[in-house]
Structures are given as C-alpha cells and as structure tokens.
Amino acid sequence: MTGIDAMLLARRMDRLMRRLNAAFHQRAEPLDTDKVGPLGGMVIMALADLGPTPVSALTAELGRDKSQMTRLIQMLERKGYVVRSSHPEDKRVSVMALTERGEAFTAQMRVILAEVAGDLLGSLSEGERAAFMESLGKI
C-alpha cells in the first residue's frame, strides 16, 4: 500500500519530463551549434560532475546502453568536447575527460539549467523545493 495513484504518478512524471525537455531545448538549441544534442549534453554534465571517468562507469551513471555510449563519445570526441585516454593499469578501459571546450560548454549549460529549474520550480516554496530534491535523491 503506497497510498498513491501510480497511474497518476506515471502521467505526471511523463508530463514533467516533457516540459523540462521542451523548456531546456528551446533555450539550449540555439547555443548548441555543434549539435551535441540532449544526450551529448547529459554525458558532458555527468563528466563535469564526476571528473575523468571510465566509459563503463559513465554508462552505469547515465543508465544507457554501452553501445549507445560508444557512439555518443565518438561524436563528442570528434567535435572536441571530450578526450579519451587508456587506463594505465587496464588496457581494456578508456577514461573520458572534458576538454576546455567541454568545460566551457558546461558553464553555458549551468546557466540555462538554472533558468529552467527556476521557472519550473517557481510554483514551489523554498521548503517544498528542498524536499523535492531530497526525495529525488533518495529514490
């Protein structure tokens, strides 16, 4: 017994994600001159938070498929946002890191995301916002 309407939850989550994506892309697309796309942006954000990271760890962090990650990384590398280096102790793993260009892109994204989050969470009180973030972290 959760006491909540699971179907309503699913529909609300879906709506929220749709709106978040729409709001974000509307502002981010004009700046995304290299077309790294939403998922490319997610990879860059994850690297910004995590620092240099093996592909496998990045894949787990983002919850995507490893083959998808391969293609995404190749694209980002080609466009100069990330670099790969092979792990000194295990030649199978390659470690991803942001380039300066990747860092600059991250800074831009932070600004946009803050705006979008501000708009989206504007209807919540300070306390509700904090509680929402905390619950999101626990889930």
Partner DNA sequence: TATTGTTATACTCTATAACTATA
Partner DNA sequence: TATAGTTATAGAGTATAACAATA
Helix axes 37-50, 100-120, angle to 10 degrees: 100
**HSE-up of residue 22 (Cα within 13 Å, Cβ side):** 8
The entry of its own copies, DNA, none near residue 107 (CB within 5 to 8 angstroms by kind) is none
Q: Give the separation between CA 27 and CA 31, rounded to whole angstroms.
A: 8
Q: Which H or E element spans position 35? A: none
- Residues between 14 and 33 that touch its own copies (CB under 8 A): 14-20, 22, 24
Contact status: 108 vs DNA (CB under 7 A):
no
Contact status: 136 vs its own copies (CB under 8 A):
yes
The entry of DNA, its own copies, none near residue 6 (CB within 5 to 8 angstroms by kind) is its own copies
Under 8 Å between Cβ of 44 and 106: yes
Whichever of 20 and 55 has its CB closer to its own copies, that residue is 20
CA distances from 105 to 33, 81, 92, 109, 128 (A): 11, 8, 29, 6, 30
Interface residues with its own copies (CB under 8 A)? 2-4, 6-20, 22, 24, 42, 45-46, 48-49, 62-64, 109-110, 113-114, 116-118, 120-121, 123-124, 126, 128-133, 135-139
Interface residues with DNA (CB under 7 A)? 18, 21-22, 25, 35, 37-40, 54-56, 59, 64-74, 84, 87, 90-95
